[in-house]
A and B are shown apart, each in its own frame.
Chain A
Amino acid sequence: MQTFEPIFLSRLQHYLFCPRQFALIELEGVWAENQWTAEGQVLHKKVNQPDQQKRGAIRTAWALRLANEELGIEGIADVVEYHKQENGTEIPYPIEYKRGKPKTHRADEVQLCAQALCLEEMHGITVPDGALFYGEVRRRTAVVFDTELRNLTQETIAACRMIVQTKLTPKAIYKSKKCSRCSLIDQCHPKGFHKSAAAWLAEQIKED
């Protein structure tokens, strides 16, 4: 069996937001808070304490540690509900807490699907669906782990693994709307590093 340095589940969505952001965090140990990350932390305060509870046919676990050794991923699920079936077995149902509202991109879904892949390996069963809980709308959005989402999740894991193995930070691509929301903009300097430094320097010296 191949042994990997596990990739954290939460980093998958960093990769999907921006591969460079993933590399800055993973390879360079860069981290900075901003309004959005801080809000996310406040939201997670509720679900960060490991705990469990049984209510009717549902057993709920908070802050549950997950891993999939074959894929080389690990992390902590905010909430996993175990739904008791009529035949007496339990099917895990992961729920991930997110600030804001449902997104047009699939980063949140990928993170949730990766949790499902962990639960599948750990329990040896199929996990068909889960949910995202959005803080702003205070509602669950159901997510089905279909083939397409599973493929996207596996591709994302592979892409992250590539960055970890090559230890190369991808180049910055400046997009004003996206970059202004990124807490790492100050360490990334996406505006400064989009031009050729050598050419710029040569130009400056030639000028006078």
Chain B
Amino acid sequence: MRPLRNVIYIQTQNSWLHKDNDNLVLKVEKETKARVPIHKLQGLVCFGQVTISPYLMAHCAENGITITFLNMFGKYLARVEGPVSGNVLLRRTQHLTGHSIEKSVAIAQTMLTGKLYNQRYVIRRYCRDYGEQISDKNVLAQLQTAEKRLTRCLTQLSDCKGIDTLMGREGEAAQVYFGVFKHLIRQPDFEFDTRRRRPPTDPVNALLSFCYTLLTHDCRSALETTGLDPASGFLHQLRSGRPSLALDLAEEFRPMVDRFVLSLINRKQLFIKDFETLPNGSVTLKEEPRRTLLAAWQDRKQDTLLHPWFEETVPIGLLPWLQAQVLARFLRGDCDSYVPFLWK
């Protein structure tokens, strides 16, 4: 997909970006690492310790190139944008749409469709890859039953007329999904019983919680960059300080995060000794393995897959940005429904 090639993501720490004629120059430790004609850019996204010269910043502002600063974990910090901005109309439409229960339910329903579809994919994919290795026929049967029940929940979503009933279906699907999640873990040290959030009391839950936070931050940045208001959601209730729309957008990507967590464990990138238990019983990842996780997270974002709606191959890291654009276009009346990312 072309748009995304024109956005440069700078993840190398201690990078220095400046302008040399009409080129953007990236230096690390005074050594030039890249040189790009500025007019080919649409945006710059800087993770963590990335410094930009004021002249480059001004040039970007004048030429409609948005610079977004995120911390190393992808948390949105700030944005530098030139004087052109039509976002007020988009935000107004977003807020007005949020006022309508009917419209909110319709959007929330498509987002949860994405979530349940992708949850089912996690199970399907596991059965496809490891089905033959599962010796316990009971386990295989449980996975197959879960898949069928998720399909039923998925088709019932369209009958929901309110946010409460949607949440009910989603809860039901979550029970089914996390009910068999332990069967997807192939390292006996890591036990999983049920999803526990506040606080996580076992390593698997700790990993899920940590990665969901990263995901929410990515979604928030994507919404900010697109000009949407991350605080005004359709599925999640509005509460001061809560990025409700970021949480909404994150729903369809949670299953991808789940599989990321599973692969960290199953491929032995993380071990049980990498976790510590705090006095209140909550479990967290130690600092060094956290770095391993973040490196793997950034690597994962570089992997590409096919976006079925656009029929184009895109890097995983850009999916939230792309979906935020789809949402913005839907709110502006470009299409008759929001289309979540469906994992195939």
* A contact residues vs B (CB 8 Å cutoff): 26-35, 37-38, 167-169, 171-172, 185-187, 189, 191-193, 196-198, 200-201, 204-205, 208
Contacts and interface: CB of A to CB of B under 8 A. Distances in A.
5 cross-chain pairs, A with B, having the tightest CB-CB distances, nearest first: A186-B3, A29-B86, A31-B64, A198-B337, A28-B86
Contacts of B6: 32, 186
Interface of B: 1-4, 6, 39, 42, 63-64, 84-87, 89-90, 110, 113, 117, 151, 154-155, 308-311, 325-326, 329-330, 332-340, 342
A35 B3 CA distance: 15
A38 B39 contact: yes
A172 B334 contact: yes
B343 to A, nearest CB: 11
Nearest to A171: B334
A30 B127 CA distance: 45
Nearest to B155: A205
Interface of B is mostly: loop
28 contacts: A28-B86, A29-B87, A31-B64, A33-B39, A35-B39, A168-B333, A169-B332, A169-B333, A171-B334, A172-B334, A185-B2, A185-B3, A186-B1, A186-B2, A187-B325, A189-B310, A191-B311, A193-B334, A196-B337, A197-B309, A197-B330, A197-B337, A200-B339, A201-B339, A204-B117, A205-B117, A205-B154, A205-B155
B89 A167 contact: yes
A196 B335 CA distance: 7
Contact of A197 (B63, B154, B339): B339
A33 B113 CA distance: 37
Contact of A187 (B3, B87, B333): B3
A33 B64 contact: yes
A198 B158 CA distance: 11
Contacts of A191: 310-311
B39 A29 contact: no
Specify which of A26, A27, A192 lies most central, judged by the most chain B CB atoms within 10 Å of its CB: A192
Given A187-B325, A205-B155, A192 B42 contact: no
B329 A189 contact: yes
A197 B336 contact: yes
